[in-house]
Chain A
Amino acid sequence: MSTDGERLYREREQRFNDIVALKKPDRVPIVPHVIHYFATKWKGISNRDAGFDHARHYEAIKDATIEFGWDFTPTNGMFAADGYAALGTTQLRWPGGDLPDDASFQFVEAEYMKAEEYDEFLSDPNGFTLTKIFPRIAGGLEGFGQVPIPPLYWMANTYYLMNVGGAVLAAPPIRKALESLLAMSDAVAGYFAADAANAQEMAALGYPRTWGAPIIPAFDVVSDMFRSLRGSTLDMYRHPEQLLATIDLVQEAQVGLARMVMAVTGNPRVFIPMHRGAGGFMSDEQFEKFYWPTFKGLVLAIIEAGGVPNPLFEGDYTPRLKYLAEFPPGKVAGHFDRIDRAKFKEVLGDSMCFWGNVPVSLLCTGTPQQVKDDVKELIDLFGDGGALMLDSGLGVPDEARPENMHALREAADEYGVF
Chain B
Amino acid sequence: MSTELTDAIVGMREDEALAIVRRMLDAGADPAAVLDQAKDAMGVLGQRFECGDAFIPELIMGGEIMKDISAEVKPRLKKEAGAPTRDTVVIGTVQGDIHDIGKDVVVLMLDVDGYDVHDLGFDIAPERFVAAIVELKPKVVGLSGLLTLAFDSMKATVDAIVAAGLRDQVRIMVGGAPVDQQVQDYTGADGWGSDVAAALRLMHEWTGRAA
Interface on A for B, CB 8 Å cutoff?
93, 100, 102-104, 106, 108-109, 228-230, 233-234, 236-238, 280-283, 286, 314-316, 338, 359-362, 364-366, 393-394, 397-400
Q: Closest 8 A-B residue pairs measured CB to CB?
A: A365-B186, A233-B57, A361-B182, A399-B148, A397-B148, A233-B60, A361-B183, A283-B55
- CB of B147 within 8 A of CB of A286, answer no
Q: Which of B55, B152, B182 contacts A366 (CB 8 A)?
A: B182
- CB of A229 within 8 A of CB of B61, answer no
- CB of B182 within 8 A of CB of A93, answer no
CA distance A59 to B97 in the complex (A): 27
Which residues from chain B contact A93 at a C-beta distance below 8 Å? 98
- CB of A365 within 8 A of CB of B57, answer no
Q: Which of A103, A108, A360 contacts B148 (CB 8 A)?
A: A360
CA distance A113 to B131 in the complex (A): 38
- CB of A361 within 8 A of CB of B180, answer yes
- State whether the Cβ of B166 lies closer than 8 Å to any Cβ in chain A: no
- CB of B152 within 8 A of CB of A399, answer yes
- CB of B56 within 8 A of CB of A280, answer yes
**Contact string against A for B residues 143-156, beta-carbon threshold 8 Å, 1 for contact and 0 otherwise:** 00001110110000
Q: What's the interface size class on B, roughly?
A: 20 to 34
Question: Taking the nearest CB of chain A, how far is it from the CB of B30, in angstroms?
Answer: 29
Question: Taking the nearest CB of chain B, how far is it from the CB of A235, in angstroms?
Answer: 10
CA distance A237 to B17 in the complex (A): 14
Which residues from chain A contact B194 at a C-beta distance below 8 Å? 316, 338
- CB of A361 within 8 A of CB of B151, answer yes
- CB of A360 within 8 A of CB of B178, answer yes
- State whether the Cβ of B162 lies closer than 8 Å to any Cβ in chain A: no
- State whether the Cβ of B141 lies closer than 8 Å to any Cβ in chain A: no
- State whether the Cβ of B99 lies closer than 8 Å to any Cβ in chain A: yes
Question: Taking the nearest CB of chain B, how far is it from the CB of A246, in angstroms?
Answer: 17
Question: Taking the nearest CB of chain A, how far is it from the CB of B51, in angstroms?
Answer: 12
**Contact string against A for B residues 173-193, beta-carbon threshold 8 Å, 1 for contact and 0 otherwise:** 000011110110010000000
A398 with B60, Cβ < 8 A, contacts A103-B96, A280-B55, A366-B182 known: no
- CB of B98 within 8 A of CB of A108, answer yes
- State whether the Cβ of B12 lies closer than 8 Å to any Cβ in chain A: yes
CA distance A228 to B100 in the complex (A): 12
- CB of A286 within 8 A of CB of B149, answer no
CA distance A393 to B148 in the complex (A): 12
Which residues from chain A contact B56 at a C-beta distance below 8 Å? 229, 233, 280-282
Which residues from chain B contact A361 at a C-beta distance below 8 Å? 151, 178-180, 182-183, 186
Nearest B residue to A233 via CB reads: B57
CA distance A283 to B59 in the complex (A): 12
A-B contact pairs, 26 of them (CB 8 A): A100-B96, A103-B149, A104-B96, A104-B149, A108-B98, A109-B101, A229-B56, A230-B104, A233-B57, A233-B60, A234-B60, A234-B61, A237-B12, A281-B56, A282-B56, A316-B194, A360-B148, A361-B178, A361-B180, A361-B182, A361-B183, A365-B186, A397-B148, A398-B149, A399-B152, A400-B148
CA distance A14 to B103 in the complex (A): 43
Question: Taking the nearest CB of chain A, how far is it from the CB of B58, in angstroms?
Answer: 8
Nearest B residue to A224 via CB reads: B101
Which residues from chain B contact A103 at a C-beta distance below 8 Å? 96, 149
Which residues from chain B contact A399 at a C-beta distance below 8 Å? 148-149, 151-152
Question: Taking the nearest CB of chain B, how far is it from the CB of A3, in angstroms?
Answer: 39
Which residues from chain A contact B179 at a C-beta distance below 8 Å? 361
Which residues from chain A contact B97 at a C-beta distance below 8 Å? 106
Nearest B residue to A319 via CB reads: B52
Q: Which of B104, B147, B182, B186 contacts A398 (CB 8 A)?
A: B147
- State whether the Cβ of B64 lies closer than 8 Å to any Cβ in chain A: yes
Name the interface residues of B63-108: CB closer than 8 Å to any CB of A: 64, 96-99, 101, 104
CA distance A234 to B55 in the complex (A): 13
